[in-house]
């Protein structure tokens, strides 16, 4: 339960923590795009340097980054192996009968795995250094112009913040129900697979019941306090663009230009 990193904010006072969430969101978004510009060793090295620098500046314990990577590690390894064995380019490196490894394959494998690695690292850095509420406010302001074309931006943002807000609550609830059922002899973490699958029902039913009840209560409480959607609603959190954010954009721009110049 405790390894789940999505939406898990780690408090801190670093440069990255203090950035405007809009700046971080745009950076993460642009980074996802410019990652695809890299196509040789030097450009990948640049991206790697940017990622490592960001992690270093955030002063997060490396363990957190690693925890975020763990679930995706298998995918990365699998991608690597697929490329190594299936890409047939460049000089032949090994030949064990039916298994042939080409230099192009290894290169491709390393590049694609690095690409995935950088993507995951930068996006988890975003959620690790920004509170869910800040992310939501950021998204809401960034998507603000879309309101004009009738997109219910506020409602989306609200849904997101409620969902994020209730992740820990639901986890806590899950843990509580698991404990109550374990005390009645249910087995969640040991025993034969069949038993463990069956034990999902005593966990899910109470969880759903309480989630629905909670949703109803929340809706009622919001209405009781006069909530009526986004119309004319202002936010208590005012985002402030500072020099730091501009610095980040300059760095990003430099990175982008270097990538364009250095790619082959």
Partner 1 sequence: MDITIKGLEHSYSKGTPFERKALSNINLSIPSGTFQTIIGHTGSGKSTLIQHLNGLLKPTQGSIQIGDFKIQAGVKEKRLKALRKHVGIVFQYPEHQLFEETIEKDILFGPLNFGVPEEEAKKRAARLIQQVGLDESYLSRSPFDLSGGQMRRVAIAGVLAMKPSILILDEPTAGLDPRGRREIMDLFYRLHEEEGLTTILVTHSMEDAARFSDDILIMEKGGIALQGGPETIFSNPEALKKLSLDVPETVQFIHRLEERFTKNLPHSVFTLEAAVDAALSILQKGEENS
Q: Is 38 exposed, middle or buried (0-12, 13-18, 19+ CB in 10 A)?
A: buried
Taking CB under 8 A as the rule, does residue 235 contact partner 1?
A: no
**Smallest gap from residue 69 Cβ to partner 1 (A):** 16
Q: Is 150 in the site for partner 1 (CB under 8 A)?
A: no
> And the tokens for 118?
């950088």
Alpha carbon distance 187, 20 (integer Å): 46
- Using the rule CB under 8 A, is 186 a contact of partner 1? yes
Residue with tokens 């064995």: 85
183 binds partner 1 per the rule CB under 8 A: yes
Nearer to partner 1, 42 or 201 (CB): 201
Segment lying near partner 1 (by CB under 8 A), choices 37-45, 139-147, 148-156, 182-190: 182-190
Of 177 and 255, CB closest to partner 1: 177
The single residue among 10, 37, 142, 239 that binds partner 1, judged by CB under 8 A, is: 10
Mark the segment that binds partner 1 (CB under 8 A) among 68-76, 126-134, 144-152, 181-189.
181-189
Q: Does 25 sit near partner 1 (CB under 8 A)?
A: no
CB of 50 to partner 1, least distance (A): 25
Least Cβ distance, residue 103 to partner 1 (angstroms): 42
Phi, psi of 100 (to 5 degrees): -125, 135
Residue pair 109/88 in contact (Cβ under 8 Å)? The answer is: no
Residue with tokens 């506020």: 154
Residue 176 near partner 1 by CB under 8 A? yes
Q: Which stretch binds partner 1 (CB under 8 A): 17-25, 74-82, 200-208, 249-257?
A: 200-208
Q: Least distance (Å) from partner 1 to the CB of residue 205?
A: 4
- Residues in contact with 72: Cβ distance below 8 Å, sequence separation at least 6, in sequence order: 116, 120
Residues ≥6 apart with Cβ < 8 Å to 186? 178, 199, 202, 203
Note whether 202 binds partner 1 by CB under 8 A: yes
Q: Which residue has the tokens 């909530």?
A: 227
Residues 59-63: contacts with CB under 8 Å, at least 24 apart: 59/12, 59/14, 60/10, 60/12, 60/14, 60/125, 60/128, 60/129
What x/- string results for residues 58 through 97 when contact with partner 1 is judged by CB under 8 A?
Answer: ---x------------------------------------
Place of tokens 């800040």: 134
Number of residues that bind partner 1 (CB under 8 A): 22
Kind of pairing, strands 92-96 and 99-102?
Answer: antiparallel
192 binds partner 1 (CB under 8 A): no
How many Å apart are CA 92 and CA 232, to the nearest integer? 66
Residues forming contacts to partner 1 in the complex (CB under 8 A) are: 2, 10-11, 61, 173, 176-177, 179-187, 201-202, 205-206, 209-210
């Amino acid at each position: 339960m405790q390894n789940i990193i999505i939406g898990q904010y780690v408090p801190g006072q670093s440069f990255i923590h203090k950035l405007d969430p809009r700046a971080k969101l745009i950076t993460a978004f642009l980074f996802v795009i410019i990652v695809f510009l890299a196509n040789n060793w030097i450009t990948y090295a640049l991206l790697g340097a940017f990622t490592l620098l960001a992690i270093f500046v955030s002063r997060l314990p490396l363990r957190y980054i690693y925890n975020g990577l763990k679930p995706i590690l298998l995918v990365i390894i699998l991608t690597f192996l697929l490329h190594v064995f299936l890409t047939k380019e460049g000089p032949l490196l090994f030949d064990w009968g039916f298994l042939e490894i080409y230099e192009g394959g290894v290169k491709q494998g390393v590049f694609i795995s690095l690409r995935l690695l950088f993507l995951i690292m930068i996006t988890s850095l975003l959620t690790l250094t920004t509170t869910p509420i800040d992310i939501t406010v950021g998204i809401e302001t960034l998507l603000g112009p879309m309101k004009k074309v009738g997109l219910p931006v506020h409602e989306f943002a609200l849904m997101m913040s409620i969902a994020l807000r209730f992740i820990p609550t639901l986890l806590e609830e899950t843990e509580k129900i698991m404990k109550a059922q374990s005390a009645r002899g249910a087995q969640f973490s040991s025993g034969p697979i069949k038993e463990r699958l069956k034990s999902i029902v005593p966990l899910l039913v109470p969880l759903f019941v309480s989630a629905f009840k909670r949703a109803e209560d929340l809706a009622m409480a919001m209405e009781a306090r006069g909530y009526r959607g986004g119309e004319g609603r202002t936010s208590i959190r005012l985002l402030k663009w500072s020099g730091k954010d501009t610095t980040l954009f300059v760095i990003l721009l430099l990175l982008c230009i270097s990538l364009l110049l250095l790619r082959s």
